[in-house]
Amino acid sequence: MSKTLLFVIASDGYQPIEYGDAKKVLEAAGHQVVTVSDRGTIAIAKDGSNVNIDKILSNCDTTSGDALFFIGGSGALEHLDNEDSYKLLREWEKTDKSYGAICISPRILAKAGVLKNKKATGWDGDGELAKIFLDNGVEYIRQPVVVDGNAVTANGPSAAREWGEKIDEILQKY
């Protein structure tokens, strides 16, 4: 069954491998990926490449798609770690729709409170993820991809394809 997924990326500094690899897996499985960002019509990746933006984050709600996933990259915390993201995530969690994040972005989900009492993973190259997860009631699992209920998290670019595959599996259930 085809689903519409919202992939939220920073307008500047998103991780292109995480975005591209997961998107390819999900589109090959028949899903539609809608690219969402904090502003503008084009997002610039950390490697200088770019993609067109389909929707602005502040204009999204739980009727905008069947699943919600945040892509990482150096710009994620600067552009997406904010009340617009938290509000949408909290609304999303109240539904039975799938959601998640990859790389640095699981921190945003943790701060929004939508990973509380769940197992999750993410990038911890700066040594801060374990504390952020602990402070927000998240059990840190040091694996490339972690699925807990309808939440799917991954630790970075090397896990992007597997993350996409796990998202597809979850979409069959939710």
The CA distance from 38 to 10, in Å, is 6
Q: How many residues does the chain have?
A: 174
Q: How many C-beta atoms lie closer than 10 Å to residue 127's C-beta?
A: 7
Q: What is the pLDDT of residue 75?
A: 98
Q: Read off the pLDDT of residues 101-154 as tens digits, 9 standing for 90 and up.
A: 999 999 999 999 999 999 999 999 999 999 999 999 999 999 999 999 999 999
Query: Closest Cα partner for 8 from 41, 74, 55?
Result: 55
DSSP SS3 for 154 = strand
* pTM check: above 0.85: yes
Q: Is the pLDDT of residue 173 over 90?
A: no
Domain coordinates in residue numbering, the chain = 4-173
When the candidates are 3.40.630.30, 3.40.50.880, 2.60.40.1760, 2.60.40.10, the CATH number that belongs to 4-173 is 3.40.50.880
Q: Read off the pLDDT of residues 48-84 as tens digits, 9 standing for 90 and up.
A: 999 999 999 999 999 999 999 999 999 999 999 999 9
pLDDT band at 170 (very low <50, low <70, confident <90, very high): very high
